[in-house]
Chains A and B, each alone.
Chain A
Amino acid sequence: MLKTYVFIFCLLLLQPVIASAHPHVFVNNYLSFEFDSAGLAGIKVDWVFDEMFSAGILLDFDDGDAILSPQEVAAIEAEAFTNLAKFDYFIHLIVAGEKFSLPAVTEFSATVHNGSLFYSFKVPCRMPVAQATKSLTVRVEDDTNFASVITNKSSISISASTPAYPVSLTYAQASMGAFLVSREAVGAVTVKFSKL
């Protein structure tokens, strides 16, 4: 029994060493892979924030009408979005087994629906289609764990203008944490495509 006490106590002391922060913000992540005749053009990303965090951002940036004007969106982008660049916007790309640094994100916009804040932006990462199969793995997660980012399987899509070559999606298992927040959550998603 004494040993158990001491063991627990040591774990308690070591907690700040190993564990990072725990999530204060919850985000539902949507990915849309945009293809054209030349290949993958980019990824459209949409984030839906939990209502409590949304309320905080709206308190800061909205004039109270629950509609974000272009000026308000610009302020959110400058003060609450671009600082995520140092975390690669939580987007981790792997091409052919190697980490691929995130190119700049474009076309940022922010909207409000039913009290929830929505972010939308694009990751322009062009990959031309070829005879050999191309593969891109995308994992959207905050490794510092301040935000809990959940990607449901139904939130991943291939853009409407379906390309004339085969594109497949495979999903990694969701982490235990993501699974507990959403039963439909997936981990990294891999998109593969090649010329017929």
Chain B
Amino acid sequence: MKILIIVLSSFIFTCYLSPASALSKEVPSASLRPVVNTSTTAAGAQHYIVSLQKQLKEKMVSLTRKLRQGDKVVALLLLGVAFLYGVVHSLGPGHGKAVIASYLLARKGSARQGVILAAIAGVVHGVSAIVLVLVIYFLSIGRLTTTFSHWSNNLQIVSYTVITLIGLWLLLAKLASLVQKKRGDTGKTESAGRPWWLLLALALAPCPGTMIVLLFFLSQKMLSLGILMALAVALGMALTLSGIAFFTVYMRATIMQRSSKTTRVYTVLHDLFGLLGALAVFCVGLLLLYGAIGG
């Protein structure tokens, strides 16, 4: 668990450090050296993700070349690289990590449920990109690259709207149940609910990283391998999201367990997480929406 926390914290934390921060300082060419000091060392992890992705993509290209030369065993290796690319790619910003985490904070559920939900979310995020590419390709709707980005921009707006609404709905449901409890009405507590809307919302934001991998194999006239590769990327993303989900549920459970000396505190904490999580889903949705429309 400790290792997971260290890895997670370093990757997430480093998203905050601007990669352009070292640019303003001008040095003579003779003393050109890599920027390594304490403030940028933390940024290293996030930048490392980026350079690792570049290497993995180059690996996919060179392995495909080998495959074309008749080395069939390489296909398995290729799928492994694609899986790893999915894991690394979804560690970068986005890909529904914040949405999943805040949703699981709001909802009481087991680690198993959380991990399954996140895994499905990762798969639909990639599969929707595959579906979108294949629809554009086989129906000859237009240029794959430009049409994909145009459609995915529009789909994202729908997706983020749905996420915002889910947050709002969770918030209202929680408030309603609190009011009910205050009145002493013990009849109906909040239902466990099925996260279909959440999965739909995440499916509506297709992953551009998966698209690029699939387009490459389409250009090589290797459609079925391309789909398999894109699926491997999606499974890799599912692994990352599951890790995030496990962490969230574990954190929630640990806090509940350690701070709840009495049932009263337990109930208060439960309600607090419900409210905070719902509010977080709502805010994350709004911020994503703002970014998609404004940016």
The answer to whether A and B assemble together is: yes
Given contacts A11-B9, A170-B28, A171-B27, contact A148 B54 (CB under 8 A): yes
With both chains docked as a complex, state the minimum distance between the C-beta of B64 and any C-beta of chain A, in angstroms.
9
Is B139 an interface residue, CB under 8 A from the partner?
no
**A153–B47 CB distance below 8 A:** no
Q: Are A61 and B143 in contact (CB under 8 A)?
A: yes
A2 CB within 8 Å of chain B: yes
A80 to B22, CA, bound (A): 30
* Given known A-B contacts A50-B54, A175-B19, A180-B44, A60 and B212 have beta carbons under 8 A apart: no
- Complex CA gap A45/B101 in Å reads 43
Task: Evaluate contact between A79 and B40: CB separation under 8 angstroms.
Answer: no
Assess whether B19 is in contact with A15, with CB atoms less than 8 Å apart.
Answer: no
Within 8 A of A (CB), among B258-295: 258, 280, 284, 287-288, 291, 295
- Chain B residues with Cβ below 8 Å from A132 are none
Quick check: which of B29-37, B70-78, B170-178, B182-190 contacts chain A, the rest being far away? B29-37
| B98 partner residues in chain A, CB cutoff 8 A | 12-16
Complex interface: chain A residues within 8 A of B5 (CB): 4-5, 8
Q: Is A126 an interface residue (CB 8 A)?
A: no
Among residues of B, the one whose C-beta sits closest to the C-beta of A188 is B23
Residue pair A50, B57 in contact (C-beta under 8 Å): yes
Please state if A176 and B35 are interface contacts (CB–CB under 8 Å): yes
Query: B224 interface residue, CB < 8 Å from A?
Result: no
**CB neighbours of A169 from chain B (8 A):** 29
B130 at the interface (CB under 8 A from A): no
Q: Does A22 contact B (CB under 8 A)?
A: yes
Q: Is there an interface contact between B32 and A186, defined as CB atoms closer than 8 Å?
A: yes
CA A143 to CA B20, docked complex, whole Å: 8
Q: Is the CB of B50 within 8 A of A16?
A: no
Among A16, A52, A60, A178, point to the contact of B93 (Cβ < 8 A): A16
- Contact between B58 and A51, CB atoms less than 8 A apart: yes
Q: Are A12 and B24 in contact (CB under 8 A)?
A: no
Cβ of A69 under 8 Å from chain B: no
- B215 near A: Cβ within 8 Å? yes
Q: How far is the CA of A20 from the CA of B255 in the complex (A)?
A: 31
Please tell me if the beta carbons of B50 and A19 are within 8 angstroms of each other in the complex.
no
- Given A2-B254, A179-B34: A17 and B19 interface contact (C-beta under 8 Å): no
Chain B 84-115: CB-based contact to A (< 8 A → 1; otherwise 0): 00000100111001100110010000000000
Contact A15/B57 with A60-B145, A61-B143, A176-B35 known, Cβ cut-off 8 Å: no
Indicate whether B48 reaches chain A with its CB closer than 8 angstroms.
yes
Once A2-B254, A153-B32, A177-B47 are accepted as A-B contacts, the answer to whether A55 and B9 lie under 8 Å apart by CB is no
Check if A8 sits within 8 Å of B23, measured CB to CB. Answer: no
- A21 lies within 8 A of B26 (CB): no
Contact with B along A37-81 (1 / 0, CB 8 A): 000000000000011110111111100000000000000000110
Binds A, one of B10-18, B118-126, B192-200, B231-239: B10-18
Inter-chain contacts of B213 with A (CB < 8 A): 52
Contact A188–B26 (Cβ < 8 Å): yes
CB–CB B248/A9 < 8 A:
yes
B169 interface contact, C-beta 8 A: no
Residues of A within 8 A of B89 (CB): 22
Docked Cα-Cα span, A17 to B250, in Å, equals 24
In the assembly, what is the distance between CA of A143 and CA of B145, in Å? 21
* A174 touches which of B12, B22, B251 (Cβ 8 Å): B22
Interface residues of B (CB under 8 A from A): 5, 8-9, 12-13, 15-16, 19-29, 32-35, 40, 43-44, 46-51, 53-54, 57-58, 60-61, 89, 92-94, 97-98, 101-102, 105, 143-146, 208-209, 212-213, 215-216, 218-220, 244, 247-248, 250-251, 254-255, 258, 280, 284, 287-288, 291, 295
Beyond the given A9-B247, A11-B15, A23-B54, please list 16 additional residue pairs across the A-B interface where CB-CB is below 8 A.
Answer: A5-B251, A8-B8, A8-B9, A15-B12, A16-B98, A16-B284, A18-B15, A19-B92, A21-B93, A50-B54, A50-B58, A55-B219, A59-B144, A59-B218, A179-B34, A180-B44
Which 7 A/B pairs are nearest by Cβ-Cβ distance? A22-B92, A19-B93, A19-B15, A56-B215, A55-B219, A177-B47, A5-B251
